[in-house]
Chain A
């Protein structure tokens, strides 16, 4: 009995010593720059979506380079698909397991809840200056704080099939809504299941498509501090969308997503669609002759281009070491050396000014057009916490414009937004 007690006590004591050695280091009294990179010892967690098959490898390349300077910082990378990505983020937030770096397409809800570090505390001044200002502005919340930094961008312009246009006898891409209708009519007259204009109002893209038409009508979602859906311009825009659908110029099902429309376009069965650079690249690879034009507005003018950026946000875990490691990691990620490989793996457009200029010099005509558009794009009001609600309402109800009355559809959307304010 005594021997057993002694043995057990020895094992317990040894175990206690071993476990205490595994504990984290003392929190260093540093502010932003760690005094000695070699000695920083902590773990940071990254949660990112998969932009393409190479996303995991692209992130790993940055992590490997990071570990050359910071060998004792453990970087845990979690890559998830876009499908259900929001649910995974919510699950981690609810569990209290905040990632140090989150790459997501929204930030307003987390910023509103006060669980983020402002990006100007995390990114160095040099890095912030390297990001294109018009894109950086997209990460500013309604309170004026820079909560998020953009990581990649896409610009949407109107892509049209040059061969179909020639066959239909359309000389120039349309600039006004009336010209758009005429062009679509001529395209549908070609027969053989050819559609004029793709209008995806499904679960994924309804908010983008509706915004483009709204801006074309000269309106905007923002109404002072909040967002308003049932404005007269919105009703005009939705009425025009209904007109296009009823005349048979669009695809058969308004609830189709951008993927379905892109399939039609890449098969050469669609004349015009709002596309980003990846869709255009895919279409050209399939042999479609694509050209780009600004999106038609009601009365012409310069037209509209829509910009979308995804964001990098840093969650506040209350640990100065993790914050320092996060800072160092992000500064490395945005550096020219690492960012070029990373953004090219996503197939979308870069956000740092140096990379944009480099891209313009290297790309073909269509690629350069998208990069040019980055300086004039308008953004969806993602900095406004109410946008999440409006976006969900649009995604759920916008397709009803085909069968219902535009004013009623907008009233329903507005009612859903009001119910949650």
Chain B
């Protein structure tokens, strides 16, 4: 046997590599098929059906009216998702942007502080970390219901607390006014989003190497500069994950606003998600599917803007 590689040996090995390439895919396919079937059946098929539904007319009982597709009637027609009379669409879109932006921003800022605190060594750290997880463990519907009953005008406990301590003169009907109910819902949303974001950032903090921080300290950088120039850029991936997942969750969050808004009809405290469910009840699946499709595109736009501004995947210099 010769020690030098002959052309035939090279040819054989490349052929083997190419064969093993497709061969690898084929061997992997049986393991992938269940997941693919699940994604197709649970994600892609319902989405496609929803888009299909948005092009037909239904009455509010779900019975299809007419066999022919109606074009963009469910979107911008006389009884369309964006043009139904009496619906303050501009205000609702603004509410949606405010809802996502305010909740995610405040959640991330508070979580950064909380994660920093939980990263320190102190007695009782484990117990405190457990308490921080609790709002995430409780059902969101339950939390929203507790707030709704607590803020009830006549007998709610939170109202009584505010009046008895003198902060308010009279008990307010927080949930009966669309705007005040909206801001209460923002508070509850931040409360339930904090645990997940804090833990994601805490995990990211574990990955910040101590020697880089010490080097900066030796060079004379104070705490704040160390944090801003060293720690924060290294946390960028963790913040990106937390923020993106939060954006999607908060955008799709239905129970908090729906439970806390007690005003009927198309009031000024809706976001597009709750409006979609109002349409589902009042106008049927056609119009609410149309709004759902628009919602989806809207969400993609928000995420695209976020990714363009923050550029979380850019390499840290």
- A residues neighboring B (CB under 8 Å): 86-87, 89-91, 93-94, 109-110, 112-113, 115, 202-203, 206, 252-253, 255, 385, 388-389, 392-393, 395-397, 399-400, 412-413, 415-416, 418-420
Contact = CB atoms under 8 A, between A and B. Distances in A.
A93 B62 CA distance: 7
Contacts of A94: 62-63, 285
12 contacts: A90-B61, A90-B62, A90-B284, A94-B285, A202-B264, A392-B60, A395-B264, A396-B86, A396-B264, A397-B265, A415-B85, A419-B79
Contacts of A89: 61
B84 A419 contact: yes
Interface of B: 59-63, 65, 78-79, 84-86, 153, 173, 176, 262-266, 280-285
B86 A388 contact: no
Contact of B59 (A115, A203, A206, A388): A388
A328 to B, nearest CB: 28
A115 B78 CA distance: 27
A-B pairs, top 3 by smallest CB distance, nearest first, are A396-B265, A415-B85, A90-B62
Contact of B63 (A113, A203, A392, A400): A113
Contact of B281 (A87, A202, A412): A87
A115 B63 contact: yes
Contacts of B153: 252-253
Contacts of A202: 264
A110 B283 contact: no
A113 B63 CA distance: 7
Best-buried of B61, B63, B283 by chain A (most CB within 10 Å): B61
Contacts of B280: 87
B257 to A, nearest CB: 16
Contacts of B284: 90
B263 A109 contact: no
Nearest to A409: B86
A186 B75 CA distance: 52
Nearest to B80: A419
A333 B284 CA distance: 33
Contacts of B285: 94
A420 B282 CA distance: 11
Contacts of A416: 84-86
A419 B84 CA distance: 7
B35 to A, nearest CB: 27
A255 B61 contact: no
B245 to A, nearest CB: 29
Nearest to B277: A87
Given A396-B282, A420-B79, A110 B264 contact: no
Contacts of A420: 78-79, 283
A93 B128 CA distance: 51
A170 B297 CA distance: 62
A413 B63 CA distance: 23
Nearest to B59: A109
B86 A91 contact: no
Nearest to A263: B154
A93 B285 CA distance: 12
